[in-house]
């Protein structure tokens, strides 16, 4: 009896392995069989590795967990900021050297890849858990990318310098006279996207009131702004990432984060390049990142938000529904306005 069971198991395993080897990348990206994970695992072990391009700082930590879960599959990571990542991907495509098997980065890069036909629609059984705003849908069941992590921008404050009862709770609260000259803002995309959220929620006319607040612009990142605020250099900032505050609190930082009317979200999305060389391993990692297990790691270890949860405040993806050209025009407009309403 035991030999019959073993024979049946081996037959199933061999059938899955054979299936994994015969599917084209397009068929594989759309595969929805009950044995999907086994098919991907068998093919990925044959491939032996994948090359993962990402702007995620914690990329190696994630890769280590994946490699432990799937022994025999090596993740080679290349990490860079979104601008450098975009440049590398486009230059490789022009040279016919498509090295990335999976890409995980922010929407501006993914939008450029979409516009240049460098992405392949793919299915994942976990996509059903994600709201439509968190997916760049290719059709009813497939996506060009899906959001696997969120850094949400809003108001942060130093609890040693301002009482919780005195903290603004809305955009209208921000323009009260008592906050004049006390608010810091990053001059990079963090502050720019915050301003975009204000305009979307309150209209551009409201910016005249913000101008009166004499917000001080710092030409540093949102993360660096949080460090300044934690050190007591400013009581308030409107360009603070939620995950930076949560991570800082674990280290004893005296900072807190407050959602306002609308909260701009820096999203990280996972996407399959159209010329992935190791598609089984790439799709296996994509499923892992989008799975409840992967999302738990993002949320609990690295303090990112997950789009599969409702945190009780409004999130906004500035690029959603726009072409690259449309978004770049808006971004340029917001940058100009931010310079006009702040002091250096």
Q: What is the pLDDT along the chain (344 residues), one digit of tens a residue?
A: 433 333 444 444 444 444 445 679 999 999 999 999 999 999 999 999 999 999 999 999 999 999 999 999 999 999 999 999 999 999 999 999 989 999 999 999 999 999 999 999 999 999 999 999 999 999 989 999 999 999 999 999 999 999 999 999 999 999 999 999 999 999 999 999 999 999 999 999 999 999 999 999 999 999 999 999 999 999 999 999 999 999 999 999 999 999 999 999 999 999 999 999 999 999 999 999 999 999 999 999 999 999 999 999 999 999 999 999 999 999 999 999 999 999 87
Give pLDDT, residue 4.
Answer: 37
106 with 268: CB under 8 angstroms? yes
Give pLDDT, residue 22.
Answer: 62
- Domain extents in the chain: 2-150+266-309, 152-265+318-343
Cα(229)–Cα(160) distance, integer angstroms: 10
125 with 287: CB under 8 angstroms? yes
| CB burial readout 294-320, b (16+ within 10 A) else e | bbebbbeebbbbbbbeeeeeebbbbbb
* Identical fold, 2-150+266-309 and 152-265+318-343: yes
Sheet strands (E) in the chain: 49-54, 74-79, 102-105, 135-137, 143-158, 183-186, 215-218, 236-241, 255-258, 263-271, 315-316, 342-343
User: 């720019």: which residue's tokens?
Assistant: 192
Q: Which fold has domain 152-265+318-343?
A: D-Maltodextrin-Binding Protein; domain 2 (3.40.190)
Architecture of the structural domain at 2-150+266-309: 3-Layer(aba) Sandwich (3.40)
């Amino acid at each position: 009896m035991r030999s019959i069971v073993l024979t049946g198991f081996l037959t199933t395993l061999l059938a899955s392995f054979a299936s994994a080897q015969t599917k084209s990348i397009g068929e594989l990206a759309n595969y929805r069989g009950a044995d999907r994970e086994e098919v991907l695992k068998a093919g990925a072990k044959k491939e032996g590795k994948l090359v993962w391009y990402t702007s995620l700082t914690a990329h190696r930590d994630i890769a280590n967990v994946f490699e432990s879960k799937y022994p025999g599959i090596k993740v080679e990571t290349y990490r860079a900021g979104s601008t450098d990542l975009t440049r590398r991907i486009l230059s490789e495509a022009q040279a016919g050297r498509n090295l990335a098997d999976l890409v995980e980065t922010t929407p501006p890069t993914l939008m450029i890849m979409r516009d240049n036909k460098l992405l392949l629609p793919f299915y994942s059984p976990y996509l059903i858990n994600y709201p439509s705003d968190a997916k760049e849908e290719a059709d009813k069941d497939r996506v060009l990318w899906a959001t696997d992590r969120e850094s949400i921008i809003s108001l942060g404050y130093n609890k040693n310098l301002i009482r919780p009862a005195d903290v603004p709770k809305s955009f209208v609260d921000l323009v009260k006279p008592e906050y004049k000259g006390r608010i810091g803002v990053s001059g990079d995309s963090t502050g720019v996207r915050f301003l975009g959220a204000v305009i979307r929620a309150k209209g551009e006319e409201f910016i005249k009131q913000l101008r009166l607040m004499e917000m001080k612009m710092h030409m540093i990142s949102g993360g660096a702004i949080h460090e300044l605020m934690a050190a007591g250099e400013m009581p308030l900032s409107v360009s603070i990432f939620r995950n930076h505050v949560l991570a800082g609190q674990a280290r004893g930082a005296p900072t807190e984060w407050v959602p306002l009317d609308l909260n701009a979200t820096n999203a990280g999305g996972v996407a399959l390049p159209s010329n992935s060389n190791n598609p089984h391993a790439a799709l296996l990692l994509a499923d892992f990142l989008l799975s409840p297990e992967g999302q738990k790691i993002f949320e609990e270890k690295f303090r990112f938000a997950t789009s599969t949860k409702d945190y009780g405040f409004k999130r906004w993806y500035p690029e959603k529904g726009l072409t690259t050209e449309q978004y770049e025009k808006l971004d340029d407009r917001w940058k100009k306005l931010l310079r006009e309403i702040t002091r250096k």
